[in-house]
Amino acid sequence: MSRGSPTDYFSLAGEDLKINSSDEGATINVAEAVDERGDFVARDTFEELANPSCTYALCDDYALGSISLGSKISDYIVTGLSVNTSAGGGPTVEVSGEEVPEAFAEGYTYTTPEFTLLKNHEAQELFSAFSLSGEGCYLESCSATLSCTLGRALDENAETCAGDVSAGAIEVTATIIQSAENEPTVTPDSDWTVTSPLTLAESNDAYESYTITLRSSLAAVEPT
């Protein structure tokens, strides 16, 4: 059996990004009827849709601002973007979306904050959401998740005919290792809110580690 050839559903692969994996994520809507006992007596299905995701590796630095939530690429609306970095690990980018009809018109989009993801195998302070200080404190990993919700208008067959996105947000989670006496200090950048405070985890076979999560809203862009 030959190796798989991942499908680039979002047409992002190029010199900087190389696709490593993809998942079609197909779903189908199901309508069911029950009798007086609650047992199923009828069943019908409609609107089979793909909800694909693609994971990319970096071969060069990459400007994340080039990916916009809510944008229509081929037959998919981009609804998610995840970025992962870690000490000694290569950065990855995952993009996810939802299938829409060919005639579906792109509505609002969300601006991804300008940030250049380095190809370096190191943990990075993503989107400059915070600054870290403290002697002997090091960023072990940092991840970011951008998301929005796609609302759908349905036709007489309960199938998508139009829609738009809402609730665009970005969340950054960092893990920090403390190797000296000083505890880390994490200072949020402007427009960022700490939604999960700096929390200590201890073990008798590892140095102390801390996690923190910050959240910010994404700026909506009106359709042209």
Tens of pLDDT along 45-68?
Answer: 999 999 999 999 999 999 999 999
> Tokens 């870690």 — which residue?
86
Rounded-to-integer distance, Cα 145 and Cα 82, Å: 4
Whole-number Cα distances in Å, 211 to 28, 33, 83, 154: 38, 47, 17, 42
Quick check: helix, strand or coil at residue 186?
strand
Q: What is the pLDDT of residue 151?
A: 97
- For the chain, residues with pLDDT lower than 50 are 1
- Tell me, rounded to whole angstroms, the distance of Cα 76 from its chain centroid: 15
Q: What is the pLDDT of residue 2?
A: 61
DSSP code per residue over 157-182: TS-EEEEEEEEEEEEEEEEEEE-SSS
Q: List CB contacts of 224: < 8 A, sequence separation 6 or more.
A: none
Strand ranges (E), 112-205: 116-117, 130-133, 137-154, 160-178, 185-188, 193-203
Pairing, β 89-99 against β 53-58: antiparallel
pLDDT in tens, 131-152: 999 999 999 999 999 999 999 9
Amino acid at 3: R
Quick check: helix, strand or coil at residue 5?
coil
Q: What is the pLDDT of residue 130?
A: 98
